[in-house]
Copies of this chain bind each other. A is one copy, B any other.
Amino acid sequence: MEFQKPRPLSANREKEIRSLLRKKERDRQGLFLAEGFHLLEEALRGRLHPVLEIYAVESALPRMETLARTFPPLRDLPVCLAAPSRLARISTEESAQGVVFLCRKTAVSPSVLEDGPGPVILYLEEMADPGNLGTILRTAAWFGVRPVLLGPRSTDLFNPKVLRASAGAVFHLEVLENTPPDAVREWASRTGRPVVAAVPEGGVPPKEAEKGGKCVLLLGNESRGLSRELLDLASRRVTIPRRGRGESLNVALSAAVLLYEFLR
């Protein structure tokens, strides 16, 4: 079976698509762009946010063919052919590997919190750096965290750098965006789930922070840490002990260590 006959990517369509590099347009249209074969594969595997259309340079078609052997639905997707210079205008990476694709955002339902949440739930307050957010999502997926709650004013989940750093986790990990602290308070109090705040100093060691095998772990902004409102929600504070030098561990590394310890 063949791919649908690729159409050329028109200048008008390019302009429409390119607008999705801005968060405002992603929000308004409910669409986003992702790049590269690895993310395309994860998108086809994860299926949380459906792929709608693919933009590729001609030399990328053989690799698409190979991918379609593992993921036959890829053959049903419309493909637009673009010159490398045109593809570059809708991509943000130098090494987009000649493929960019359009996805529809699927809003994760808050019912994920009722429907078998994992033993550890993560709440991220105002993550500013896309690399950190993506890395934390990749780590959360690895450790089986479900769901991840993203506070208001965080960097956008569908920012291309977040998608890349997540290594595709965004395509299968359930993330509740724009979750206010109140929602955590209400849910934790109703379910009796302990709330643990990660703080750069003064908390108990990770081993002592999590006792019943279940918690909501709060991680704060890279520079300012957690807000007072969230700190007040927590019944325990946890700090990874420093043995050497340095001001702090990066928030993504802290997340990895804490998830490892809490889920051991």
Contacts and interface: CB of A to CB of B under 8 A. Distances in A.
A246 B135 contact: no
Interface stretch (A12-20, A24-32, A71-79, A139-147): A139-147
How many copies, total?
2
A140 B249 CA distance: 10
- Interface of A, secondary structure class, is loop
Contacts of A140: 244
Interface string A143-160: 111100000000000000
A246 B141 contact: yes
Contacts of A248: 142
Nearest to A207: B264
Interface residues of A, number: 35
Contact of A246 (B138, B242, B250, B256): B138
A261 interface: yes
Contacts of A131: 131
A5 interface: no
A143 B173 CA distance: 30
Given A139-B250, A169-B245, A173-B245, 15 more contacts: A135-B250, A140-B244, A141-B245, A142-B243, A142-B248, A144-B245, A146-B244, A167-B247, A167-B250, A243-B263, A249-B256, A252-B253, A253-B253, A257-B257, A257-B260
17 contacts: A131-B131, A138-B246, A138-B250, A140-B244, A141-B246, A142-B242, A142-B246, A143-B242, A143-B244, A144-B243, A146-B244, A167-B247, A167-B250, A243-B263, A256-B256, A260-B260, A260-B261
